[in-house]
Amino acid sequence: MKALVLIGGFGTRLRPITYTVPKQLIPLAGRSMLYHVFDLIPKDVEEVVLATGYKAEVVDAFVRQHPTPWPVRTVPEAEPLGTGGGMKNASAGLSDPFYLLNSDVVTTVDLSAMLALHQHRGGIGTMALAEVEDTRPYGVAALGPDDRIDAFVEKPEPKDAPSHWINAGLAVWAGSVLDRIPSGRPVSFEREVVPGLLPERLYAFRLRKYWDDAGTPERLLRSQQLLFDDGRGGRGGVPAGAFGSGPVAVARGVRAEGASFGKYVTLGEDVTVEPGAHIENSILMAGTHVEKEAVVLGSLLGPKVLVRAGQRVVGQVFGEGAEVGGPTTPGR
């Protein structure tokens, strides 16, 4: 069994951070989004293939530096081919069946159990579905007896949505599905290919615990909460010499003596939070510096951001190297 992971998108909804950092390398609960997805892939798969595109070389270098339980091969696209085009471009040498994973979903799932169910039912594919209130950004399934998917509508208007069960971005597909994808041009797998596969029996695997897609700032922070609450954020607590509740995921080189922390915070490598500053429900990427008495709530701060003393940053996203606030106060 092999796994194909789609990781070629631009991550436009997380700009400006994604101008320099691919979405999947943003740390959530102390670990990159990509490695939270890797945690879902069974240890016994033979190989993981990454269909890369945007910032392919950055993803490649990151994966080389961070060990994985299986060999990882990256197959970059010269230009964005969409989900189906990316699958086709990386299809050489995949297994039959194979796992397909989006790289921006946060969930817990037993993929081996999904594979067993897929083999038992014998259809062309099995898609993990998550139940959500607002189906508008997703592909929505109509379910028949035995959880067979009778219809699949990509991003329908609410009145046209056949259910609240949406494509969770994790699936098992028969190898023959790859033959259905046209080559050499961008293809949306969900819009152009999946509806045509329904007559060959596509089944649902319903996710029952938690699921979110981490594609927008709000959902990224919600995903981080889910991971912490599931115990996937390390030991929790607060950095040495700091105060507050946490949990805070702390990377190497963090300095935060005298600062205070609320719930759900990730601090990347070499982050500094000065005394009297307060951070809550936020992600501060490597090298970011928050000066004294500043407050950061519900925000994403990319690498090497500087928040000046006394500033209040609420619900904001800053990209690499941004400076927030006026000139440094004396004594910094």
User: Can you read off the two tokens belonging to residue 159?
Assistant: 């009145």
Output the smallest distance, CB 4 to ligand GTP, in A.
9
Residue with smaller CB distance to ligand GTP, 11 or 287: 11
Residue with smaller CB distance to ligand GTP, 180 or 191: 191
Output the smallest distance, CB 210 to ligand GTP, in A.
18
Output the smallest distance, CB 187 to ligand GTP, in A.
9
Question: What pairing do the DSSP bridges indicate for beta strands 295-297 and 323-324?
Answer: unpaired
155 classed as catalytic = yes
Output the smallest distance, CB 3 to ligand GTP, in A.
13
Contacting residues for 125 by C-beta, under 8 A, at least 6 apart: 97, 118, 171, 172, 173, 174, 177, 197, 202, 203
Q: Classify the phi-psi angles of 222: left when phi > 0, otherwise alpha if psi is within -120 to 50, otherwise beta.
A: alpha
Question: What pairing do the DSSP bridges indicate for beta strands 72-76 and 47-52?
Answer: parallel
Question: Residue 121, Cα to own-chain centre: how many angstroms?
Answer: 29
- Please choose, from the candidates 264, 300, 302, the residue with its C-alpha nearest in 3D space to the C-alpha of residue 280: 264
Residue nearest ligand GTP (C-beta atom): 9
User: Can you read off the two tokens belonging to residue 50?
Assistant: 């990454």
- Please choose, from the candidates 230, 232, 239, the residue with its C-alpha nearest in 3D space to the C-alpha of residue 257: 239
Contacts to ligand GTP by CB under 6 A? 6-13, 23, 51, 53, 77, 80-83, 86, 102-104, 215
Residue with smaller CB distance to ligand GTP, 7 or 294: 7
Indicate the SS3 state at residue 264.
coil
Among the options 23, 43, 55, 155, which is catalytic? Answer: 155
| Active-site annotation, residues | 155
